[in-house]
Amino acid sequence: MKVIIPLAGKGTRLRPHTHITPKPMLKIAGKPVIDYVMDDLQRLGDVDQVIYVTGHLKDKVEQYARAQYPFDSVFIEQAVQDGTAGAVALAKPYVDQPVFIIFVDTIFDADLSVVKTTDADGIIWVKTVEDYQRFGVVVTDADGNMTKIVEKPSTPISKRANIGLYYINNWKLLYEGIDHTLEQPKNKGEYYLTDAFQYMIDKGAKIKVIDVEGWYDAGEQGTLLETNRTILEKGRARRPLSVPRGVTIIDPVYIEDDVTLSSSTIGPNVSIAAGSKVDSSELRDTIVGGGASVSRSHLTGSMIGDAAVIDGVRGQVNVSDHSVVKIER
């Protein structure tokens, strides 16, 4: 099978961090978001090629993917941000077999091995949510196949949200649907991949709907920090081998090697990358990048970039790499 990973977006909701770091490479519990997905693909096996549709910071994406993942890889730039259908259309020359399409700004709990036994034309994974108006939601028939997908409905036609994870057996019909979509006027200024799925259904395709056990958003600061907490609680926590005198650790936390802690309370829900120093501070619900320095600070709900310096700060901050925030008291 082939895998298409669209990641051309600028990640505007995660600025300032995404000015210099691609959104999928931001870390949750010490691990880039994209790695969670790629680990699932490695466990699945049978992946012949991964096609990355890049844009913003494309050189960093390509360098990282080539260094980290064992797959045969292709990188295509989406120069014009015209929507998800436009992104997947760019991969058409490389798709000659069933294909996964995975948007990597979320983490999910899903058994991908079902694709090895399905006889459906495709699979779309969903998660039941209460705030359905924020999402595209999927409507099914009595057999559990999708009948339609509605973007941000004003009435509760469905609460099963599209999470951006798809498997398409009938890849020829998929691209027929994409070509049709690109020939139509844009939908709210974009060409949506979901319109191509609707075309497939209208042509008689069976797209099976499967609920995921968990779906964790990493697309903005608040949800990324919430996902950091969830992943720590689900078993990725890591404590220092020894805790210095004067330091209190409140689980769960993820603290890498070569982190220097002194006179501080760390946790809960804190991730600290290697080479950082925390002194005379209290941190909770916070992510600290590598080589950062935090002193005389009380932080909650914060994101601190690599090599940033935070001194004398109380409250919530969102500081990118190599920044300095110092408040004298």
Domain membership of residue 224 (yes or no) is no
Same domain for 44 and 170, yes or no, is yes
Judge if 103 and 142 occupy the same domain.
Answer: yes
Q: Does residue 321 belong to any structural domain of this protein? A: yes
> Cα torsion at 170, 172, 175, 181 (round to 10°)?
-80
For residues 312 and 204, membership in a common domain is answered with no
Residue 223 placed within a domain: no
pTM of the entire structure?
A: 0.90
Answer for the pair 186, 179: CB distance below 8 angstroms, yes or no.
Answer: no
Check whether residue 144 and residue 283 sit in a common domain: no
CATH code, 294? 2.160.10.10
Q: What pLDDT sits at residue 180?
A: 94
Q: Do 59 and 208 belong together in one domain?
A: yes
Are residue 61 and residue 207 in the same domain, yes or no? yes
Q: Of 184, 217, 250, which residue constitutes the final position of a domain? A: 217
- Asked whether residue 39 falls in the same domain as residue 147, the answer is yes
Distances (CA, A) of 168 to 23, 164, 201, 209: 25, 13, 12, 12
279 shares a domain with 185 = no
Helix (H) or strand (E) holding 106: strand 106-109
Distances (CA, A) of 122 to 99, 199, 263: 9, 13, 55
The CA distance from 42 to 143, in Å, is 31
**Residue 13 counted as domain residue:** yes
Q: Is residue 88 part of a domain?
A: yes
Report the distance separating Cα 178 and Cα 183, nearest Å.
9
Task: Please tell me the predicted confidence (pLDDT) of residue 301.
Answer: 96
- The per-residue pLDDT for 17 is 84
Whether 10 and 130 share a structural domain: yes
User: Residue 268's domain spans which residues?
Assistant: 237-326
Q: Are residues 57 and 145 in the same domain?
A: yes
Q: Is residue 195 part of a domain?
A: yes
The pLDDT tens digits of the residues spanning 196-240 come to: 999 999 999 999 999 998 888 877 788 899 999 999 999 889 998
The reported pLDDT for the residue numbered 8 is 79
- CATH number of the domain encompassing residue 102: 3.90.550.10
The tens-digit pLDDT sequence of the chain (329 residues) is 899 999 877 777 778 888 888 888 899 999 999 999 999 999 988 899 999 999 888 899 999 999 988 899 999 998 888 889 999 999 999 999 999 999 988 888 898 999 999 999 999 999 988 877 777 889 999 899 999 888 777 787 888 888 989 999 999 999 999 999 999 888 777 888 989 999 999 999 999 999 998 888 877 788 899 999 999 999 889 998 889 999 999 999 999 989 999 999 999 999 999 999 999 999 999 999 999 999 999 999 999 999 999 999 999 999 999 999 999 86
Question: Considering its fold, how many domains does the chain have in total?
Answer: 2
| Residue 228 is assigned to a structural domain of this protein | no
Which element (helix H / strand E) includes 255? Answer: strand 253-255
For 190, counting Cβ atoms within 10 Å of its Cβ (0-12 exposed, 13-18 middle, 19+ buried), the class is: middle
Pair (178, 265) in one structural domain: no
Residues 34 and 80 in one domain: yes
Boundary of a domain, candidates 189, 217, 245: 217
Residue at 94 is within a domain: yes
